[in-house]
Amino acid sequence: MFALIATSKLVVAQELPLKKENAFKEGETLTYKLKYGFITAAEATIKVEPSDLKFDGKPTYKLVVDARTSGTFDVFYKVRDHYDSYIDKTTLTPYFYQEDIREAKYRRKDKARFYQDNKKVVANNGTYSTPTTQTFDLVSAYYFARSLDITKLKINDTFKLNYFLGDEISALEIQYVGKEILKTKLGTINCLKFSPSIKPGRIFKKDSKLYLWITDDGNRVPVKAEVEILVGSVTLEIKSAQGLKYPIGK
């Protein structure tokens, strides 16, 4: 689903505020399934693990993501992707990121070191300047966004997250759509609905929209995402959630 998100070339110097309490804790494990129409195409597990590593003397969380294709998709196009991100326990910004991508015959291993105070990222293929002291990899962006202070957001308001991917710094624009009640594997839950930007092209229809629903509670767990493509639709749905910081729905 991250691969469906657009990369806006406009990078902005926007500092984003956090809630007083993080939306997650060590031991949290979320599992998702990615569906193409009615067929489950892939599954992913996202974990917050304890970490003994310190960067600049500061303690970290270790974020771990594993994604793999399933069923028929695993026969024709096998995916085994693994991602690690080490983030500051207070600011939730990343210090170090690495990925091991195995998709069919394609292989890639990348690493990146984030120097937030110096506004730079040092990666395998070079050093990149960043516009703010809040620049993310895609994994850390997921957790940071969950802990944002959005109390002042109004319907149709937007905000941007700067992130490093591949060989450039980009900005993801996210629009707040409103509130909806959603039936999920975790129950019927009050949700906040957002629309991240996507890039029109060979995958999407001209008017395609990506929608994301997160629980309207202390956890801010993403429970569903969906987007129409040229042929059919792709949906990401939560399967299970363990080790949540707060009771679901509160």
Render pLDDT for 26-69 as a digit per residue (tens, 0 to 9): 999 999 999 988 888 999 999 999 999 999 999 999 999 999 99
Mean pLDDT score of the chain: 88
Neighbours of 131 (CB within 10 A): 14
- pLDDT at res. 125: 87
Q: State the CB neighbour count (10 A cutoff) for residue 205.
A: 12
Q: Find the mean pLDDT for residues 71-87.
A: 93
Q: What is the pLDDT of residue 8?
A: 39
pLDDT of residue 205: 62
> In b/e form, how buried is each residue of 170-195, taking b as 16+ CB within 10 angstroms?
bbbbbbbbeeeebebebeebebbbbb
DSSP characters for 135-186?
A: EE-HHHHHHHHHTB--TT--TT-EEEEEEEETTEEEEEEEEEEEEEEEEETT
End-to-end CA distance of the chain: 27
Q: What is the mean pLDDT of residues 80-94?
A: 96
Residues 183-239 have pLDDT tens digits of 999 999 999 999 988 766 556 666 778 899 999 999 999 999 988 776 667 899 999
Residue 59 is predicted with a pLDDT of 96
Distance CA 193, CA 173 (A): 14
Q: What pTM was estimated for this model as a whole?
A: 0.89
Higher local confidence (pLDDT), 2 or 164: 164
* 3-class state of residue 12 by DSSP: coil
Q: Write the DSSP symbol of residue 43.
A: E
